[in-house]
Amino acid sequence: MERKKAHTHLKYLILSALFAAMIYIMTAFVHIPTHQGYVHIGDGCVFLAACLLPAPYAMGAAAIGAGMSDYLSGYAIWVLPTMVIKAAMASVFVGNRRPDIICKRSLFCLIPASAICVGGYYLSGALLAILSGSPAAAAFSAAVADIPSNIIQCIGSAALFIFLGTAMDKTGTKKLISE
């Protein structure tokens, strides 16, 4: 029994590393610069990880992959907020034990996960501006400028998630991972 538990842990660590790498690639190399950062579709891989892995592994993969992307893309000031926001986004999907990746529950989870993304980056942008010396009113006003791009990011990531999740459902990927 102990050997099976160790095997399962190792399997999830390896899958977490693979998802962190996928999140990093889809975030760092497929992005468009914006007012305070960039728009990407890496959150689609965050959503996939959250549907396929147990919560701590999915949250770790999301935080590490997205945080690495910010750091290595020259946005080091955003690493900590990104790691917290992406882990929180993944946590929304906790408890999705359905046999399919794309189901009513996972589609519904896209809404609060997107709200965490948009709201988290709005608050983080304002806080970072305040910490750099901007007056609070100006900081919160400036942070509003990135809300539309964050919404576009969530829509693009949701589309990627639905596309990849549907393909993975047709191949039985979730069942293979959970064995």
* pTM of the predicted protein model: 0.93
pLDDT digits (tens, 9 = 90+) for 22-52: 999 999 998 888 777 788 999 999 999 999 9
Domains contained in the chain, number:
1
Q: Give residue 168's domain range.
A: 2-178
Buried b (16+ CB within 10 A) or exposed e, 35-69: ebbbbbbbbbbbbbbbbbbebebbbbbbbbbbbbb
CATH number for the domain harbouring residue 93:
1.10.1760.20
